[in-house]
A and B are shown apart, each in its own frame.
Chain A
Amino acid sequence: MSIADKITDNQIWKSVFRHPMPTDRRNRVVVMLTNFFLHLHPVSVRRQGIALSYTWCMGGTTFFLFLVEVVTGVLLMFYYRPTLEHAYNDILNLRDVTTLGLMRELHRWGAHAMVIAVWLHMYRVFLTGSYKPPREFNWVVGTLLLVMTLLLSFTGYLLPWDQLAIWAITVGSNMARATPGVGVEGPGASLLVLNGVPLVTSFSDAKFALLSGRSVGEMTLNRFYVLHCVAIPLAVSLLIMIHFWRVRKDGGISGPM
């Protein structure tokens, strides 16, 4: 009895993997049906559908990068404290003294790469016309995921609390001030007056809601931290589930109709 047999020929192993190694056709089919992770995929796919020259592998890369961001992000959360007192120094220590401080590099470069991968994935889906029926709705879900990816990256940009961070967020959030109707410098906001009291002020407009303050401050850091680590990832996870499920339900990887 070889060592491999000893490892696999017992009740524990067999309770986890309910079939032998997928070396023959039957087990290669069965493995796709009985493994939780693999059952995302169909049992068989069109050969052209999985060709790299067709898919560019960018949707999968995006998902891979999302997982990298989750893992490195959780590790960073163990260390980083989102307060004015600690935020910058925690990042400084991640760079200079912390074991596995490389997580920050992985997280940041992974985030940039994820933005690029999302764009390229959508680019491919467009160029192959894969958004056309019956995949219209999944394209809409994908667009929402694009927006979510950008928001994730944007909210994360603030957390190091250095000059790069707060001024990039300041530039970005200044746009909110100009939102028509609900931004204090937006068209129409000055018309919203009730009994002589303006409804939209710099204490109640869209920018205030985004930053929870009139400018980027500690409350902004807290708000962006929660958005970045909890709120948006939850929304993204839900959308990813729908996205993957619909890929299967709409006929798998696209191909000539």
Chain B
Amino acid sequence: MNHHPDLTPGVMAALSWFYLFSSILNACASAYISYGELVSEGASRDDLGPKTISMPAWLRTSTWVFYGFGGLFLLINIQIAYWLLAAGTVLLAIFSTADAALFAEHESHDTGLKASLNRHQPAIGIGGPLSRPIISAIWSFVAMIFAAMGMTYALGAEYAMPQLFRNAIDNASGATSFFTISTLAFIAMIVYRKLVANGILAWAALNFSFLFFGLSLTDYDFRDIVTKPDNVPIIGLIYLVAYFTWIGLRRAVINDARMAKGLPNLEELGSEKTLTWPDLVYTELIAVVIGTVFLIVWSILLQAPLEQPASSTQAPNPSKAPWYFLGLQEMLVYFDPWMAGVVLPTFIVIGMMAMPYIDTNKAGNGYYTIRQRMFAYSTFQYGFLVLWVVLILLGTFLRGPNWNFFGPYEYWDLHKLEPLNNVNLSDIFWIQWLRQSRPSAILIREAPGIFLTMGYFAVLPGLMYAVFFKKYVMESGFIRYSVLAMLLLFMASLPIKMVLRWTINLKYIVAIPEYFFNI
């Protein structure tokens, strides 16, 4: 169903700038790889020869000229500005790669290969040095592709994402697959963290996200949801969380490798004191200036939303809570309001507060590390990234009218019907298994569920103790363990109910609607 045009002149202009921006980023990355002094975190520059690779003056000048005039023309003629910036970008991309190749050739002719700042000094634990010409060529190539895509739109060609792709993605996506893939991706990130910590993979992922966004923005329905003013900060949230997750991961990988070799970690390296004025005070001043400019530009470009005046009779469909609570609203699919809206949020807050008291691991205080606190690190990160942020994304972008799931390119159809054939555990137990009608006495009727729930909270802590936590209880005591076990069980209850819903359509484990007591 196509109710609105996918491509309008405004969208195409925006896309041409979006791809140009992506292209500039990659051209800069290419130039950085080619000319930069690539000394990674904690790598020593002692005893290294000087850097002889540097950006030729003519290239520096012409890049500045193109970008300078391009910036100037932004105020005068936006078309000319576009082509000036694009030309500068292509120039930068081509010649930084050519230079990297040239230097590599010179170096291969140089017989006495001395260790020098010409070569990439990788951080310990991240892997070997990267090849300047190859990596530079890759990002140049990506820059050229993005530049070409941008120019295509600037010249007026109407390319939209093929409907075939959109349908395939829509059909493949669902609450189940979205959550499962997120969980698997999280596990993969932790397991293969050395690979992820490498900047190349992270930069490639960033480029894929640009490509995905660029292509998706050609779809009207995707655009309609993503560009809602209140949803724009969530796009920022995605990139910020991803970036900081990566930074933390990278520093943890480096620190772990350093400490395994008996070297001081990165945080210990800079332990000498420096005066607050000017070093910290000036940093704060710059941060305040950047923050102010950023907020003002954002406020000028994007108007705060204001819909029709409030009407208590016309409920919009879907009615959504503010975006930061959409993870909780998403939990309503699996739990009743008293659990999703009251009990679980309370446990989140209490659990956060209890954390410093139940995490008795003394290692990892004041520096990034994963190996020394694997359990705490991955549990918290799973909670934040998957059970909080991913659920917010799901609730914001993929939940439409009647809280039905909609693929990213699907029209939010008010009349979409999703069969709800969910059953309670008591139905399964009495009717399907014992083939008799459910007993009328509530407690007997719900006995299987009550038994199961009590077993979950009473038996599992003992099992977990025997298998995983013996040492912890020895060191930290029974009370701390009890709190930890309860918090873990409550945290796990969400994925458990999700899986039960997806596999056996289970609605409630204990269903006593007479007293609003449904679990």
Contacts and interface: CB of A to CB of B under 8 A. Distances in A.
Interface of A: 22, 25, 28-29, 31-32, 38, 41-54, 56-57, 60-61, 64-65, 68, 88, 91-92, 95, 102, 104-106, 108-110, 112-113, 115-116, 119-120, 122-124, 126-133, 135-136, 139-140, 143, 146-147, 150, 153-154, 157, 160-168, 170-172, 174-180, 183, 185-191, 215-217, 254-257
A171 to B, nearest CB: 5
A255 B516 CA distance: 49
Nearest to B517: A187
27 contacts: A41-B280, A43-B276, A44-B275, A45-B274, A46-B272, A47-B272, A47-B279, A49-B270, A88-B310, A109-B233, A116-B236, A123-B384, A127-B368, A128-B364, A129-B365, A132-B365, A166-B312, A167-B316, A170-B315, A171-B319, A174-B337, A178-B516, A186-B342, A187-B338, A254-B365, A254-B366, A255-B267
B364 A123 contact: no
Contacts of A42: 276
Interface string B357-379: 10101111111110001000100
Most B C-beta atoms less than 10 A away, residue of A48, A95, A189: A48
Interface string B302-336: 11111111111011100111111100110000001
A33 B308 CA distance: 53
B413 interface: no
B281 A38 contact: yes
A106 B269 CA distance: 40
A128 B384 CA distance: 15
Contact of B309 (A104, A128, A162): A162
A139 B367 contact: no
B367 A128 contact: yes
Interface string B469-488: 00000000000000000000
Given A113-B295, A168-B321, A179 B240 contact: no
Nearest to B339: A178
A132 B236 CA distance: 30
Given A128-B367, A143-B352, A186-B516, 4 more contacts: A45-B274, A109-B299, A162-B307, A166-B311
Nearest to B341: A175
Interface string B340-356: 11110000010011011
Give the 5 A-B residue pairs with the shortest CB-CB distance, closest first: A175-B341, A48-B270, A105-B299, A136-B356, A178-B337
Nearest to A127: B248
Interface residues of B, number: 96
Interface in B31-76: 41
Nearest to B308: A163
Contact of B275 (A29, A68, A115, A150): A29
A165 B306 CA distance: 9
Nearest to A206: B342
Nearest to B309: A88
Contacts of B316: 163, 167
Interface in B9-26: none
B306 A91 contact: yes
B247 interface: yes
B446 to A, nearest CB: 13
B321 A171 contact: yes
Interface string B283-309: 110011001100110111011111111
Contacts of A133: 356, 365
Given A139-B356, A171-B321, A28 B252 contact: no
Contacts of B359: 131-132
Contact of B306 (A154, A162, A188): A162
A157 to B, nearest CB: 5
A163 B319 CA distance: 9
Given A91-B306, A191-B515, A177 B337 contact: yes
Nearest to B252: A127
Given A38-B277, A139-B356, A188-B517, A120 B309 contact: no
A162 B308 contact: yes
Contacts of B380: 126
Given A105-B304, A150-B324, A64 B274 contact: no
Contacts of A150: 324-325
B302 A109 contact: yes
Interface in B460-501: none
B267 A48 contact: yes
A27 to B, nearest CB: 9
Contacts of B308: 162-163
A177 B338 CA distance: 8
Contact of A161 (B310, B322, B517): B310
A28 B277 CA distance: 6
A115 B319 CA distance: 21
Given A167-B316, A178-B342, A190 B275 contact: no
B265 interface: yes
Contacts of A54: 251, 267
B384 A162 contact: no
A129 B269 contact: no
B517 to A, nearest CB: 4
A198 B280 CA distance: 60
Contact of B247 (A56, A64, A102): A56
Interface in B380-413: 380-381, 384
B5 interface: no
Contacts of A147: 349
B471 to A, nearest CB: 18
A130 B356 CA distance: 9
A124 B233 contact: no
A52 B283 CA distance: 9
Contacts of A129: 363-367, 369, 373
A167 B296 CA distance: 28
B244 interface: yes
Contacts of A47: 270-274, 279
B230 interface: yes
Interface in B501-519: 512, 515-517
A163 to B, nearest CB: 4
A64 B291 contact: yes
Contact of A95 (B269, B306, B321, B341): B306
A105 B302 contact: yes
A116 B298 CA distance: 15
